[in-house]
């Protein structure tokens, strides 16, 4: 998926004369850091197109937030998931979330909205996810809808959702979208995974959907040179919170001789528990390195022999952009279907090797790594201009709203004060 292979931008070049407006962008990461990383790419895209962004983050504070090209970053009292079930939410000290913390977050969020006075409110995942945060999101939506002139309410949605099993819950999502959201911005390409693959009621909100394309890093890197890609086996675990089993199995495969003639680099992620990180680094075979994080991960992918990883949104985009031979072992615990669906789609097109996590063992992983090393991944033509398309779409909606208000203003009878509704 090199930048030169991207399909033409259907929105065309930006009209700088219309690229004005402000956005309040709410994002909540609970376990990994993928949601926040995608949000930062979106913030950068909006900033490039002239939109002033107030970024509100509700997860654990991360260093990346300091470099966000936002007009302002607001950090709510942090909340995270206690484990992969996402059933228990805790604060930064591991204590259960209580009413006092909820009230503090809600008040901070509403104060940020009042201060920013945004033209649009962009909410990550809700109402398809983040249901546990209705205590602050419903007041935010109410504030946006009641203000004059009203702020647009938009959903920022990943390509694949974990849809609730109950029909009533799915209906609740449809009702909420139709009642409160102007547009659902789907950060994916329907040629690879249409939203209906994970949310079967999508036909009932089709008029509210806009596919932006995948949200990837905006700065293209040099194309992969197959003749120069005889480097290391690169094993990565994203944020690392749930990557321990993959890292341990990969290290066991290497100890048994898998591609032992190559260097191996294991990137554990910032959220892998310290004791697991320490255990990985003890008595390593020669030529094997264990690190927490590499900012140059996309560059490492361009020269690696094979990439081994889970199938998170951002990691997969980095792998496809690099054209790296890859083995995907999707995270699939606690009803999580997102990564499995993404990996299956890519494997069916010959772009990756996929290993079912239920079958994960040193032997099976070694076999998949060796297959990937022998083969050549199929190239995919997937739209990765999502950050720019999102910014352009929001700017176009804001422009249309402004024009409609102006038209209403000049067509109203004397004394009518309904402008902005």
**Residue ranges of domains in the chain, CATH in brackets:** 3-214+384-411 (3.40.50.2000), 226-374 (3.40.50.2000)
Give the pLDDT of residue 2.
Answer: 36
Secondary structure in 3-state letters for 301-345: HHHCCEEEECCCHHHHHHHHHHCCCEEECCCCCCCCCHHHHHHHH
Please state the rounded mean pLDDT for residues 170-192: 97
Note the pLDDT tens digit of each residue in 38-82.
Answer: 999 999 999 999 999 999 999 988 888 888 899 999 999 999 987
pLDDT at 85 exceeding the cut of 50:
yes
- Choose the weakest-confidence range: 39-48, 217-226, 229-238, 266-275: 217-226
Higher per-residue confidence, 124 vs 238 = 124
Give the pLDDT of residue 336.
Answer: 80
Note the pLDDT tens digit of each residue in 154-168.
Answer: 999 999 998 888 999
Note the pLDDT tens digit of each residue in 86-96.
Answer: 678 999 899 99
- As to burial, measured by CB atoms within 10 angstroms (0-12 exposed, 13-18 middle, 19+ buried), residue 315 is buried
Q: For the chain, what is the total number of helices (H) and then of strands (E)?
A: 11, 15
Query: What percentage of the chain has pLDDT greater than the value 70?
Result: 88
Structure tokens at 351: 């772009």
Structure tokens at 321: 């952009």
pLDDT at 129 exceeding the cut of 90:
yes
According to DSSP, residue 224 is labeled P
**Mean of per-residue pLDDT scores for the chain:** 88
pLDDT at 305 exceeding the cut of 60:
yes
Note the pLDDT tens digit of each residue in 336-379.
Answer: 899 999 999 999 999 999 999 999 999 999 999 999 999 999 98
Contact criterion met (CB below 8 Å) for 130 and 137: yes
Give the pLDDT of residue 14.
Answer: 42
In DSSP terms, 350 is beta-bridged to none
Query: How far, in Å, are 1, 38, 145, 152, 293 from residue 300 at the CA level?
Result: 16, 20, 46, 40, 12
pLDDT band at 410 (very low <50, low <70, confident <90, very high): low
pLDDT at 280 exceeding the cut of 80:
yes
Note the pLDDT tens digit of each residue in 371-381.
Answer: 999 999 998 98
Q: What is the rounded distance in angstroms from the CA atom of residue 365 to the CA atom of residue 348?
A: 18
CA-wise closest residue to 102 among 90, 112, 94: 90
CA-wise closest residue to 298 among 227, 240, 247, 224: 224
- Choose the weakest-confidence range: 86-90, 105-109, 180-184: 86-90
Q: Which residues contact 120 (CB under 8 A, 6 or more apart)?
A: 21, 22, 23, 24, 151, 152, 153, 154, 394, 397, 398
Query: What percentage of the chain has pLDDT greater than the value 90?
Result: 72
CA pseudo-torsion sign 36, 42, 45, 49: negative
Give the pLDDT of residue 82.
Answer: 78
Q: What is the rounded distance in angstroms from the CA atom of residue 191 to the CA atom of residue 349?
A: 12
pLDDT at 1 exceeding the cut of 90:
no
Please state the rounded mean pLDDT for residues 396-416: 75
Q: Which residues contact 293 (CB under 8 A, 6 or more apart)?
A: 267, 269, 270
Structure tokens at 238: 């994203």
Structure tokens at 178: 């139709």
pLDDT band at 238 (very low <50, low <70, confident <90, very high): confident
Query: How far, in Å, are 5, 220, 231, 280, 304 from residue 225 at the CA level?
Result: 16, 15, 12, 31, 11
- As to burial, measured by CB atoms within 10 angstroms (0-12 exposed, 13-18 middle, 19+ buried), residue 10 is exposed
Give the pLDDT of residue 270.
Answer: 85
Q: What is the rounded distance in angstroms from the CA atom of residue 221 to the CA atom of residue 219?
A: 6
Give the pLDDT of residue 88.
Answer: 87
Q: What is the rounded distance in angstroms from the CA atom of residue 165 to the CA atom of residue 242?
A: 23
**189-194 CB contacts, 8 Å cutoff, 24+ apart:** 189/159, 189/213, 189/214, 189/382, 189/383, 191/381, 191/382, 191/383, 192/159, 192/345, 192/346, 192/380, 192/382, 193/159, 193/160, 193/341, 193/342, 193/345
pLDDT band at 421 (very low <50, low <70, confident <90, very high): very low
CA pseudo-torsion sign 342, 252, 241, 231: negative
- Choose the weakest-confidence range: 164-173, 178-187, 388-397: 164-173
405: left (phi over 0), alpha (psi -120 to 50) or beta: alpha
Note the pLDDT tens digit of each residue in 267-276.
Answer: 998 888 999 9
Note the pLDDT tens digit of each residue in 2-45.
Answer: 333 333 343 444 444 444 799 999 999 887 778 888 999 999 99
């Amino acid at each position: 998926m090199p930048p030169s292979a991207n399909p033409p931008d259907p929105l065309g070049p930006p009209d700088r004369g219309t690229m004005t407006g402000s956005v309040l962008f709410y994002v909540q990461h609970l376990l990994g850091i993928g949601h926040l990383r995608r949000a930062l790419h979106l913030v950068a895209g909006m900033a490039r197109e002239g939109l002033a962004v107030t970024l509100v983050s509700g997860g654990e504070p991360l260093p990346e937030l300091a470099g966000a090209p936002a007009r302002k970053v607001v950090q709510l009292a942090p909340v995270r998931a206690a484990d992969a079930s996402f059933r228990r939410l805790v604060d930064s000290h591991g204590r259960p979330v209580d009413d006092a913390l909820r009230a503090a977050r809600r008040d901070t969020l509403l104060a940020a909205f009042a201060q920013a006075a945004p033209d649009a409110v962009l909410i990550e995942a809700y109402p398809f996810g983040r249901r546990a945060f209705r205590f602050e999101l419903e007041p935010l939506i109410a504030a946006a809808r009641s203000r004059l002139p009203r702020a647009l309410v938009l959903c920022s949605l990943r390509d694949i959702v974990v849809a609730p099993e109950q029909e009533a819950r799915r209906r609740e999502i449809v009702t909420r979208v139709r009642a409160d959201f102007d547009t659902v911005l789907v950060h994916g390409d329907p040629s690879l995974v249409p939203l209906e693959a994970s949310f079967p009621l999508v036909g009932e909100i089709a008029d509210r959907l806009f596919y932006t394309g995948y949200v990837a890093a905006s700065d293209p890197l040099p194309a992969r040179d197959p003749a120069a890609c005889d480097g290391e086996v690169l094993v990565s675990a994203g944020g690392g919170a749930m990557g321990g089993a993959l890292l341990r199995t990969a290290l066991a495969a290497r100890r048994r001789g898998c591609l032992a003639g190559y260097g191996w680099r294991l990137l554990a992620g910032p959220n892998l528990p310290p004791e697991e990180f320490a255990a990985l680094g003890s008595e390593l075979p020669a030529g094997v390195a264990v690190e927490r994080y590499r900012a140059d991960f996309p560059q490492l992918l361009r020269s690696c022999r094979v990439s081994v990883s889970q199938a998170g949104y951002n990691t997969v985009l980095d792998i496809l952009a690099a054209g790296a031979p890859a083995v995907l072992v999707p995270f699939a615990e606690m009803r999580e279907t997102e990564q499995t669906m993404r990996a299956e789609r890519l494997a069916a097109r010959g772009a990756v090797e996929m290993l079912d996590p239920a079958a994960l063992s040193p032997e099976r992983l070694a076999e998949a790594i060796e297959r990937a090393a022998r083969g050549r991944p199929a190239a995919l033509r997937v739209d990765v201009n999502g950050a720019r398309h999102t910014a352009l779409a929001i700017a176009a909606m804001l422009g249309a709203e402004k024009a409609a208000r102006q038209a209403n203003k000049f067509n109203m009878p004397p004394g009518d004060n309904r402008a902005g509704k």
